[in-house]
Amino acid sequence: MQEASGRESPRWTMLETLRSAIILATLAATTTAQAGDPPGPDAPVATEPASAQDVIDAVDAAADQWASSCKKADAEGLCIRRTAPKASATRCAAPLLGNVTVRPRDAKRAKRAQQALDQALRLAEHVAEPLDEATLAAYREALARARLAKADLELEQYLSVTMPTRLDFFVEEWKQSSGVPQWEAQHEQQVARKNDSIERFRAYFERKTELGRRLQESYAGIAQARSERWTVKAALRTAWVAQDMADQLRTAPIPESLAKPEVRDAYCEALEGQSSAPLQQARDAAQACVDRAAAAELTGPTVDACQELLAKLPADPP
């Protein structure tokens, strides 16, 4: 059985740092030479075409730099912390993914790593796939690894976008023309709160939806690299994207204005219904992850996470 976790600890000794710098400097010179622009008088000149091994080495160096930008990553290399949810009377349900907190990365190191990943992927556009099977497998893994790290940057941004608090859509319309100044003033305040809530929710939902759409496309594209290990990791992340959206809806704070139990129940039922589509998407992606891993005989934390999520998800979402 192969290990599907793929987590590698940073190896930032002085020697490794020097090695990475040499690889990235060589990569920059090679991509510049291949771009078709005439070199300047002081520009480095590549003496030979880039190879698949150059791409593999460049991705290794960039991925190590990306990993080192997070002081404490999770088992998937994401700079996040997940904790068990606690029951709350102010929310309709508990998040199935748990409470997710995105940890800050070292901004400069993360930026350099992402730029290096971009360079490696651009270099790969000029490299033919190797004929040697072992090198071909390593080359495909490197491409998938680079694309996953690129997408993971947006995944962390996506997980940072959370439902706005203190939303309140409750308006007592009968107070508008009641003839009682106090009630009419209350109605105006309620309308103002409602309009503010609508605007804040719209901004959140548009941002969250757009990031989610881009992530779905990015993780789907990783399968093109034809690396089962990284395709399984992408499937897990696809499930997390959908499940996080479902959790955001299911666990939205209950407005304080909904005092009556029957009104609160109706509110929670409505949110549960809205979470049905992303719940199904999460289940489909988690199932695909488990099935793909079984077909490729992969095991490890990634597969375990897919199985764990699948076990939590309802077979028939509401």
Q: What is the pLDDT of residues 118-171, one digit of tens each?
A: 999 999 999 999 999 999 999 999 999 999 999 999 999 999 999 998 888 889
CA angle 82, 86, 92 (to 5 degrees): 110
Q: What is the pLDDT of residues 242-295, one digit of tens each?
A: 999 999 998 988 888 887 888 888 988 988 888 999 999 999 999 999 999 999
Pairing assessment for the beta strands 99-102 and 80-83 based on DSSP bridges? antiparallel
Whether residue 11 is predicted with pLDDT greater than 80 in this model: the reply is no
Confidence at residue 86, expressed as pLDDT on a 0 to 100 scale? 80
Confidence at residue 261, expressed as pLDDT on a 0 to 100 scale? 87
- The answer to whether 153 and 110 are in contact (CB under 8 A) is yes
Of 232, 219, 238, the closest CA to residue 4 belongs to 232
- The answer to whether 17 and 315 are in contact (CB under 8 A) is no
Q: What is the pLDDT of residues 84-112, one digit of tens each?
A: 888 788 888 889 999 999 999 999 999 99
**Residue with token string 């068990």:** 84
Confidence at residue 252, expressed as pLDDT on a 0 to 100 scale? 87
Q: Mean pLDDT over residues 33-58, rounded?
A: 64
How many whole angstroms separate alpha carbon 281 and alpha carbon 241? 9
Q: What is the pLDDT of residues 192-248, one digit of tens each?
A: 999 999 999 999 999 999 999 999 999 999 988 889 999 999 999 999 999 999 999
Whether residue 19 is predicted with pLDDT greater than 90 in this model: the reply is no
- The answer to whether 307 and 288 are in contact (CB under 8 A) is no
How many whole angstroms separate alpha carbon 147 and alpha carbon 225? 9
Confidence at residue 159, expressed as pLDDT on a 0 to 100 scale? 97
Whether residue 18 is predicted with pLDDT greater than 60 in this model: the reply is no
Q: Mean pLDDT over residues 57-68, rounded?
A: 97
Confidence at residue 1, expressed as pLDDT on a 0 to 100 scale? 53
Q: At residue 100, what are phi and psi to the nearest 5 degrees?
A: -105, 125
- The answer to whether 108 and 76 are in contact (CB under 8 A) is no
Sign of CA dihedral 52, 57, 58, 59: positive
- The answer to whether 167 and 200 are in contact (CB under 8 A) is yes
Domains of the chain (ranges plus CATH)?
A: 2-169+177-312 (1.20.190)
Whether residue 16 is predicted with pLDDT greater than 70 in this model: the reply is no
Confidence at residue 27, expressed as pLDDT on a 0 to 100 scale? 45
Confidence at residue 48, expressed as pLDDT on a 0 to 100 scale? 66
How many whole angstroms separate alpha carbon 296 and alpha carbon 201? 42
How many whole angstroms separate alpha carbon 302 and alpha carbon 230? 10
Confidence at residue 87, expressed as pLDDT on a 0 to 100 scale? 75
Of 163, 312, 176, 296, the closest CA to residue 233 belongs to 296
Which residues on neighbouring strands pair with residue 32, listed in sequence order? Answer: none
Of 42, 25, 20, 44, the closest CA to residue 33 belongs to 44
Confidence at residue 38, expressed as pLDDT on a 0 to 100 scale? 45
pLDDT category of residue 49 using cuts at 50, 70 and 90: confident
Three-state DSSP class for residue 77: coil
